[in-house]
Amino acid sequence: MDVLGLSELLVRIILGTLGLATFGIIFGLFYIGIDRKLSAHMQGRIGPPFRQPFRDVAKLFTKENIIPDHAIPWIFNLSPLIGLIATISILLYLPLGGFPPLFASGGDLIVILYLLIIPSLALVIGGFSSGSPYAIIGAQREMATMIAYEFPLAVLIITVAWNLLQKGITNVFSFSTIAAAPVWNQVAGPLGFIGFAILLFVLLLVTPAELSKIPFDSPEAETELAGGLLVEYSGRNLAMYYLTDGVKTVVMASIIVALFFPYNLSPFIGLGSYTGIIIDVLFYLLKVFLVILFSVTLIRVSIARLKIDQIVYTYWIPLTLASLVGLILVMWDQNIVQWFS
């Protein structure tokens, strides 16, 4: 690659990263505002305006950063930044609004599985480094929650990749491959459909734990731990954690959309050019909203906070077994088709 080509590539990566970061932050805060407003109406309250998350972040960036006396300052200040950068990095590997990933590769799913751990680890490290007993308890709970929901998530990814591999498709861990061959299109019979429906249900329940939302928010638990992991954070550091939560909301919803609903609307209604692009982007934003509605809003309104032992049990026993049942059903579906073919 010549110097001119390398320069164009660097400009594309820089502009693309800035664009995706802006997109994730703006729509992440916007969806948080919608979630808070809808959940308030479901509980018979008025709720804050949609723009309240933007106001909160803007106000936090004007506040002083207070570092506790017993904290490790450089770790305490670095953890929120690492969490935000890692969360934004996930957007680079996701197809958004009909556009291919900026960093498409043959192992997108594996990379994302590892990157999803970093924001949670940043929370844990930030909590331990603060020196607060409340934050330390919250960090311990966060680690237990991470260990609990990672196995069902890994089973889901293995199932999607195995199903594509059985169809003779290569690059099975690539989102571009999954978008070109959606899982529902690869289902051969009713067992496979039921299996993937179970896996979709499991992923919808993993999402609130990834986002530390009720009923899986025991690491923060304001009524028990006064904020837990974030009890000592303020100012810009707290704002960055808030932004991380917003971007991660878009990330988790986009992962579900990319895995199970990677369809675009323009091919079905025969639109092309710029009109088709706009329609596909709006359709993607609608899908993200519906995923957040079912995986975050409805769950946290209808279920009370679980204790940490209940959270671990829920993911290790019922949801792990459910994900394994989904995997087995998908495998049986393929074997039955092979027997009768």
**pLDDT confidence tier of residue 58, bands split at 50, 70 and 90:** very high
Q: By mean pLDDT, which of 3-17, 153-167, 201-215, 280-294 is the weakest?
A: 3-17
Residues written for the chain: 341
Residue 3 has pLDDT above 70, yes or no: no
d(Cα 76, Cα 27) in Å, to the nearest integer?
27
Contacts of 219 (CB under 8 A, 6+ apart): 123, 138, 139, 141, 142, 145, 212, 225, 228, 229
The per-residue pLDDT for 11 is 79
| 8 Å CB contact between 35 and 124 | no
Q: 123, 96, 85: which is closest to 209 by C-alpha?
A: 123
Contacts of 23 (CB under 8 A, 6+ apart): 91, 96, 250
pLDDT tens per residue, range 143-195: 888 888 888 988 998 888 888 888 878 888 888 888 888 888 877 678 888 99
Average pLDDT, the chain: 86
Burial class (CB in 10 A: 0-12, 13-18, 19+), 238: buried
- Answer yes or no: pTM beyond 0.85: yes
The per-residue pLDDT for 276 is 82
Contacts of 83 (CB under 8 A, 6+ apart): 118, 119, 122, 123, 126, 240, 241, 244
Give CA separation, 94 vs 40, 107, 164, 177, 179, in Å.
Answer: 31, 12, 18, 12, 10
**pLDDT confidence tier of residue 33, bands split at 50, 70 and 90:** very high
Select the more confidently predicted residue: 3 or 45. 45
Residue 337 has pLDDT above 60, yes or no: no
Three-state secondary-structure class, residue 99: strand
Residue 279 has pLDDT above 70, yes or no: yes
What are the backbone dihedrals phi and psi of residue 6, each rounded to the nearest 5 degrees, phi first?
A: -65, -40
- The C-alpha torsion from 199 through 203 and 204 to 208, rounded to 10°, is 160
The per-residue pLDDT for 4 is 62
- Percent pLDDT > 90 in the chain is 38
d(Cα 215, Cα 206) in Å, to the nearest integer?
11
Give CA separation, 135 vs 15, 187, 252, 305, in Å.
Answer: 37, 46, 25, 18
The per-residue pLDDT for 309 is 87
Q: 121, 306, 297: which is closest to 204 by C-alpha?
A: 297
Going from N- to C-terminal start, the domains of the chain cover 3-340
**pLDDT confidence tier of residue 53, bands split at 50, 70 and 90:** very high
Residue 341 has pLDDT above 80, yes or no: no
Q: In this structure, what token pair is assigned to residue 221?
A: 């638990």
Q: 36, 43, 41, 33: which is closest to 302 by C-alpha?
A: 43
Q: 230, 210, 211: which is closest to 220 by C-alpha?
A: 230
d(Cα 6, Cα 8) in Å, to the nearest integer?
5
pLDDT tens per residue, range 62-104: 988 888 888 888 898 899 999 999 999 999 999 888 788 888 7
